[in-house]
Chain A
């Protein structure tokens, strides 16, 4: 398959929307007009990355059932997000468009520039990681040249994200989410059947290898830390909050947990199915234990159709996340930062231009040295958890934190980054994102106590 094929549909969508005059609500929040299912499917596609299709199952194959603790929060997080975040922001009038704006409304205007800058930095790092993920995906599944795939997928996503903003991207993401769910079910089913017919799955389960049990080869403390990080962390990821800005009404909010949980668990089937099949085949000596390459090797065993389906699912997972990160970054720089400094007029042209420039910057950074990328890769889930979770909880709970919120965000983010750099020396179960969030909470609690 040629990488340039992905550009044609994106170019068509971009041309169709290029001449339209979009408001900021349309560009950043899909006009607040999405139903629960549209928002839920798009939210699931945005929230999941290619790691779901490749890295996650490979982790199950290498450390066993302990890796399942990363996805074990899935039944809870949909309901929890709707309780904590949805109830907080969907009923507001006028509807806000971004996380920094929301935080500023509840915690004071000084929060907005800090939140916007942290969000922009995290989104840029996230984009670089997604670009590198395309490269890895091309090497394992799509075929060379990897750099060309990276360029084509980014240009395609940048085209529709810049032309139509989330007004278009919410539909594209929802379709991609539905395809990801269908692909995940098929791939998981075929992989498990393959492991079963190869005589690897049942003996592995019956004899109880080292990877089974409740935690596999992962220490219990690490498994619980993952559970906690991926449960509470889901409340602080800007790309997870985005779906609530799309939502039409509180009545739709009531239906959203079903849409979110259903679509999320459907896609995560691939993590369980591929992971267990790969683990069993590795134990039986029918598949080499090759780290992240284990899953591509298994997919090749399953045939070209399954390989292509998994590649499409992983590509859609990346593309939807990229579209969201581009839009969030554009909102931070063209909506939140100018407003924080008193400039209240928003320009669609700037919104589009920053979307394109952000994509190009991410491509340039991804093409540079691996060391830089590895460093930027640290700014992921844990970074957003450390930076935003205390502030979000303080805003939701209406804590009297005064002007401490920007400091708590900066300290949490900084601590998370510092600890990530020391990760090999950290004891098991210590997650930098959680420690950073803990420090932020402590600061906010002290500030609240000082204010009485």
Chain B
């Protein structure tokens, strides 16, 4: 598993400049992908399914990447951080955790 994750991380980091993303974003997403992939390794009845890991990662990317686009929009950038990234993200992640916990893999 770790080698697949490492390969994905490398691919993401190498393609980041072409996609216009700083390497830090690629690194961040790759590290979180590795971590969340690890999180699904434990046996039933605990641990999230593959679907939950993907959903969590998609949610993280969806929240963090737009902050780059809004970096120079003073009020909108701040509101994005405090709204979707901070306040609204909490119920989303809690719901995903609960779903992952409820349904045995």
B86 touching A227 by the CB < 8 A rule? no
- A306 at interface by CB-CB < 8 Å: no
In the complex, which residues of chain B have a beta carbon less than 8 angstroms from the beta carbon of A429? 24
In the complex, which residues of chain B have a beta carbon less than 8 angstroms from the beta carbon of A225? 24
In the complex, which residues of chain A have a beta carbon less than 8 angstroms from the beta carbon of B94? 78-79, 257-258, 261
A438 closest partner in B (C-beta): B31
- B11 at interface by CB-CB < 8 Å: no
A445 touching B2 by the CB < 8 A rule? yes
A232 touching B31 by the CB < 8 A rule? yes
A396 touching B38 by the CB < 8 A rule? yes
- B10 at interface by CB-CB < 8 Å: no
Given contacts A83-B48, A84-B39, A448-B2, whether A75 and B93 have CB atoms under 8 Å apart is yes
B75 touching A205 by the CB < 8 A rule? yes
**Which residue of A208, A220, A396 contacts B24 across the interface (Cβ within 8 Å)?**
A220
B81 touching A68 by the CB < 8 A rule? yes
**Which residue of A71, A87, A212 contacts B78 across the interface (Cβ within 8 Å)?**
A212
In the complex, which residues of chain A have a beta carbon less than 8 angstroms from the beta carbon of B96? 79
B25 touching A224 by the CB < 8 A rule? yes
- B42 at interface by CB-CB < 8 Å: yes
Given contacts A82-B97, A88-B42, whether A212 and B64 have CB atoms under 8 Å apart is no
In the complex, which residues of chain B have a beta carbon less than 8 angstroms from the beta carbon of A258? 94
B40 closest partner in A (C-beta): A83
B75 touching A227 by the CB < 8 A rule? no
In the complex, which residues of chain A have a beta carbon less than 8 angstroms from the beta carbon of B75? 205-206, 208, 212
A397 touching B24 by the CB < 8 A rule? no
Given contacts A220-B71, A224-B24, A257-B97, whether A213 and B77 have CB atoms under 8 Å apart is yes
Q: Interface readout for A240-280 with B: 1 if CB under 8 Å, 0 if not? A: 00000000001001100110010001000000100000000
Number of A-B contacts (CB under 8 A): 136
In the complex, which residues of chain B have a beta carbon less than 8 angstroms from the beta carbon of A445? 2, 6
Residues B53-94 near A (CB distance < 8 A) = 60, 64, 67-68, 70-75, 77-78, 80-82, 85-87, 89-90, 92-94
- A80 at interface by CB-CB < 8 Å: yes
In the docked arrangement, what's the CA distance between A206 and B73, Å?
Answer: 11
Given contacts A261-B90, A397-B1, A445-B2, whether A214 and B28 have CB atoms under 8 Å apart is no
A83 touching B97 by the CB < 8 A rule? yes
- B103 at interface by CB-CB < 8 Å: no
A224 touching B22 by the CB < 8 A rule? yes
In the complex, which residues of chain A have a beta carbon less than 8 angstroms from the beta carbon of B90? 74-75, 261, 265
A69 closest partner in B (C-beta): B81
Given contacts A79-B97, A220-B24, whether A87 and B46 have CB atoms under 8 Å apart is yes
Give min CB distance, A204 to chain B, whole Å: 9
In the complex, which residues of chain B have a beta carbon less than 8 angstroms from the beta carbon of A398? 41
A79 touching B24 by the CB < 8 A rule? no
Q: Interface readout for A61-78 with B: 1 if CB under 8 Å, 0 if not? A: 000010011011011101
In the complex, which residues of chain A have a beta carbon less than 8 angstroms from the beta carbon of B48? 83
Given contacts A83-B39, A214-B81, A261-B94, whether A76 and B24 have CB atoms under 8 Å apart is no
B34 closest partner in A (C-beta): A393
In the complex, which residues of chain B have a beta carbon less than 8 angstroms from the beta carbon of A272? 82, 86
In the docked arrangement, what's the CA distance between A196 and B69, Å?
Answer: 29
- A374 at interface by CB-CB < 8 Å: no
Q: Can you list 24 residue pairs at the A/B interface with Cβ under 8 Å?
A: A65-B81, A68-B86, A78-B93, A79-B97, A84-B38, A205-B75, A208-B74, A212-B78, A214-B67, A214-B71, A214-B73, A214-B78, A214-B81, A227-B28, A228-B32, A231-B32, A254-B98, A254-B101, A257-B93, A265-B86, A396-B41, A397-B2, A399-B2, A445-B2
What 4 A-B pairs have minimum CB-CB distances, sorted nearest first? A208-B74, A75-B90, A212-B74, A214-B77
B residues sitting closer than 8 Å to A (CB atoms) are 1-2, 6, 22-25, 27-28, 31-32, 35, 38-39, 41-42, 46-48, 60, 64, 67-68, 70-75, 77-78, 80-82, 85-87, 89-90, 92-94, 96-98, 100-101
